[in-house]
Amino acid sequence: MKNNVINMKNKWLLFLFIPILYLFVAFLVIPSITTFVESFTTNEGEFTFRWLELMFTNDKYGEYILNTLGLGFATVIVCGIVGFSLAFAFNFYDFNGKFIGKIIALLPICLPGTLFVYACVNIFGPTGVLGNILTAITGSEEQLYSFTGFWPILLIHALSQYINFYVIISYGLTKIDKSQMESSIILGASKFKVFKDSFFIPLLPSIASAAGLTLIGGMGSYAAPSMIGGSFITLTVGINTARQSGNLHISSMLSIISSLLVIISLILIEYFSRKRTTTLSVKYTPFTTYRFKSKVAHNLFTLYIWLLIIVLMLPIIFVVLFSFFPPKSSGTFTLDNFTLSGFSNIWNYGDIVDSLKYTFEQSFIVAIITVIIALVLALISLRTNWKFKSLANGMAHFPTFISDVGYAIAVIVTFNVPQWFVGNQALYGDYSLLIIILALLSVTLAYKNFYSAIQRISTDLDEASSMLGASEFYTMRKVIFPIITPIFISTFIITMIYKLQEYTINAFIGPIGNSNIAMLIRSLGSQENDKSNMTWVLGTIVLVIVIFLLVIYNKFSNTNDSQQVQE
């Protein structure tokens, strides 16, 4: 195979790289350093270990850390069970309705986190559907239970964060070699050894990646802990509490600890992912779907999978259902209450219309900036022999090491005062700062997509174009760009989908009056008037739009997958 790196000067790439490097240094590196310094200084600017000592001497902060770790590892366990069950069922098992089930399994990414939390509260909460049913059965006039704390948060994580396990394990299962298992059995290996050597170990990198990403997601969760955490406080909530009380030193130290937990998780992912690499044999045979020989086992497993799918669908079902009924009707749905007034009246609420426009504008701009930055970094990493091209790769992965809440504090600490490197302005609360931050934090995923696509393009195309007298820029514009257009569009769409639902960064560093969809949903859900029904109406509109965008994404994603370039 030919080396995919060719000798290219590409001065136009250097021209684009310089401002990108400035953005990373000014808005990622310097805020991170500033937060670290803030964690070890007093109000007078003197060096101190006081804030670090408090982490060990004050039980409150120790509890934050233990709660975060406990929630993170518990999230890994429950999401592992859900995600692995679905991955196994949809890749190895044959049952009725499998195609529909695969679509349903991806739908939770269509709901903003704040809406997902409100949906679960109205389904499983004491005054929701389940609570009303239990109250009717028992005849009790008091609430039978509460829906706050560790277990409700874990339930919401189980219903929403299993996606990492499902997607990554599904990919890993496609690499399991059936012929290797059969060979081991023929040679007399025990069932345990066959399972360990031919199934578990080859799947270990996928398990490690899924577990690590889920651990980061569980520990970094903010919407659920802040909305229904109650007395169960995690680091993300503790960081914001310290910020609101005006103690940025404590907030910064908690942010450093939060980021440290993320870094440790990423190191573990890297270690286990590289500990065992799987090379497909020449006689590689993929698994084919099968059914259990026992009819009872077949029916029980099918029932388990469909019950799991139904439970996963409940938040989405009820978001749509709630949108067609007036407020305070949860658990009492009748045809007499059915109404379309929410959808017809939504345009009468100026704040909702403004929020929709604002969010789509924001996500569109962020997606454009993100894909441009990611594409430039990927081209530098793969299509040049610059000595500093490894810097481009490092820049693309740097946002992975930062937790959203911790980084939001870093931005506040840094840009709450004028800074010389941004024209002596205090940018905190500025719309342009928000856009830059959202774009930089989204670069890693986009970069990986472009890196994978460009890596498959043979350098023979560049060399042939060069031999015909074409300039490097012309080759990029006429040869490389047309090939990666599908991945460019699909990456733009998936970035836009994620930013449509973004909550944490907007809530922490957005300008005054900023109210994107996720923030407005939280505001509407806390109201006790007729307008509270707009939560579900707005959620249904977002759901339909995101599903539409996912269909387009899938179209271009499949186009890219089928567009193979011979090396």
Kindly calculate the radius of gyration of the chain based on its CA atoms and give it in whole angstroms. Answer: 25
Name the nearest CA neighbour of 402 among 37, 24, 10.
24
Number of C-beta neighbours around residue 187 at 10 A: 9
Q: List Cα–Cα distances, 293 to 176, 236, 298, in angstroms.
A: 22, 49, 7
CA angle 313–317–323, rounded 5-degree value: 155
Query: Residue 448 CB: number of other CB atoms within 10 A?
Result: 15
- Output the pLDDT for position 5: 43
CA-based nearest residue to 426, from 438, 414, 434: 414
Q: Record the pTM.
A: 0.81
- Return the exposure string of 461-478: e unless at least 16 CB atoms fall within 10 Å of the residue's CB, then b: bbeebbeeebebeebbee
pLDDT at position 1, please? 39
The Cα diameter of the chain in Å comes to: 85
Please name the residue that has the structure tokens 């989908």.
497
The confidence score (pLDDT) of residue 474 equals: 60
Q: What is the pLDDT along the chain (567 residues), one digit of tens a residue?
A: 344 444 445 677 788 899 999 999 999 999 999 988 989 988 888 889 989 898 888 889 989 999 999 999 999 999 999 998 888 888 777 777 777 777 788 788 778 888 899 889 988 988 888 888 888 888 877 788 889 999 999 999 999 889 888 888 887 777 676 666 667 677 776 767 766 766 777 777 778 878 888 888 899 889 899 999 989 999 999 998 888 888 888 988 998 888 888 888 778 777 766 655 444 444 555 566 666 677 888 788 888 888 888 888 888 888 888 888 766 555 456 666 777 777 877 888 878 888 888 999 999 999 999 999 999 998 888 877 777 788 888 899 888 877 788 888 889 889 999 999 999 999 998 999 999 999 999 998 888 888 877 776 666 555 565 565 555 666 666 666 777 778 888 889 888 988 888 888 888 888 877 778 888 888 777 666 566 678 888 888 888 888 888 778 777 665 554 444 344
How far is the C-alpha of 515 from the C-alpha of 512, rounded, in Å?
Answer: 9
CB 518 within 8 A of CB 501: yes
pLDDT for 485 equals: 78
Q: Given this model, what pLDDT does residue 4 score?
A: 44
